[in-house]
Amino acid sequence: QVQLEQSGAEMKMPGSSVKVSCKASGYTLTDYYIYWMRQAPGQGLEWMGWIKTNSGGTYYAQKFQGRITLTRDTSISTVYMELNNLRYDDTAIYYCARQAISGTPNYCDPWGQGTLVTVSS
Amino acid sequence: DIQMTQSPTSLSASVGDRVTITCRASRLINNWLAWYQRKPGKAPKLLIYAASTLQSGVPSRFSGGGSGTEFTLTISGLQPEDFATYYCQQGHTYPLTFGGGTKVEIK
């Protein structure tokens, strides 16, 4: 079955970077976009950006422009989300999710299990 | 950004009840609307997309309606496994945005 497996929890210092991986299985990575969202404690779900996995093209939410980089390694069916210059309010659970329907953008399913990133000094 | 407002924020219902959740968009999004279910400690699961299309494998007791700026998710005959938090999400304009969620609890 289609699954996305994310890397484990991270604890980072303010100003540092984090790189979260998302490994796809059960389908061909390059057939679908991958989206990234996050949810901070007590906050709503927030979309961060997507990567077009066949070309590597990306689109980021303006809020994260300059701090986020999405990449992929098709040889191991894995997508990466790197967030730089971490702040305390970047503490959140980060999710990757697959484009749900081929040819139709902006709906996500399935989702990875989530990766907790804690920014703390 | 398009704001998505869900109501109610929570509700109590019994097994077998019919439940309706509303989602309003701050601007026209045509039918670019999805509904997700989220259980504690789990990732969201897509239930409905394009406002009314049931995702594969989702029980038919879930249905979606609406277009433009006002949308509904209806659960006809609430089951024990349906107690969860439900979110709407617009897919019309970047940034994609989500509603704040509606928690469906057992009465």
Cβ contacts (< 8 Å) between A35 and chain B: which residues?
96
Neighbouring C-beta atoms of residue A73, cutoff 10 Å: 12
pLDDT of residue A25: 98
> Between chains, do A101 and B45 touch, taking CB under 8 Å as contact?
no
Q: Which of A27, A45, A46, A48 to mutate to probe the B interface, most B CBs <10 Å?
A: A45
Which of A44, A107, A109 lies nearest to residue B98, judging by beta carbons? Answer: A44
pLDDT of residue B93: 95
Is B106's pLDDT higher than 90?
no
Q: What is the dihedral of CA B19, B25, B26, B32, to 10 degrees?
A: 180
> Between chains, do A47 and B96 touch, taking CB under 8 Å as contact?
yes
Please state, for a pLDDT cut of 70, what percent of chain B lies above it. Answer: 100
Cβ contacts (< 8 Å) between B101 and chain A: which residues?
44
Q: Dihedral sign for Cα B77, B48, A64, A116, please.
A: positive
> Between chains, do B95 and A97 touch, taking CB under 8 Å as contact?
no
pLDDT in tens, B11-34: 999 999 999 999 999 999 999 999
Average pLDDT over residues B74-80: 95
Average pLDDT over residues A18-41: 97
pLDDT of residue A103: 87
Per the listing, tokens 């038919």 go with: B60
DSSP annotation string for B6-41? EE-SEEEE-TT-EEEEEEEESS--TT-EEEEEE-TT
C-alpha distances (whole Å) from B101 to each of A93, B4, B10, B60 are 16, 10, 8, 21
> Between chains, do B49 and A100 touch, taking CB under 8 Å as contact?
yes
> Between chains, do A110 and B45 touch, taking CB under 8 Å as contact?
yes
pLDDT of residue A79: 98
pLDDT of residue B107: 86
> Between chains, do B89 and A44 touch, taking CB under 8 Å as contact?
no
Cβ contacts (< 8 Å) between B34 and chain A: which residues?
107-108
Using the Cβ of B99 and the Cβ atoms of chain A, whether some distance falls under 8 Å is answered with: yes
pLDDT of residue B84: 96
pLDDT in tens, A42-67: 999 999 999 999 999 999 999 999 99
pLDDT of residue A118: 98
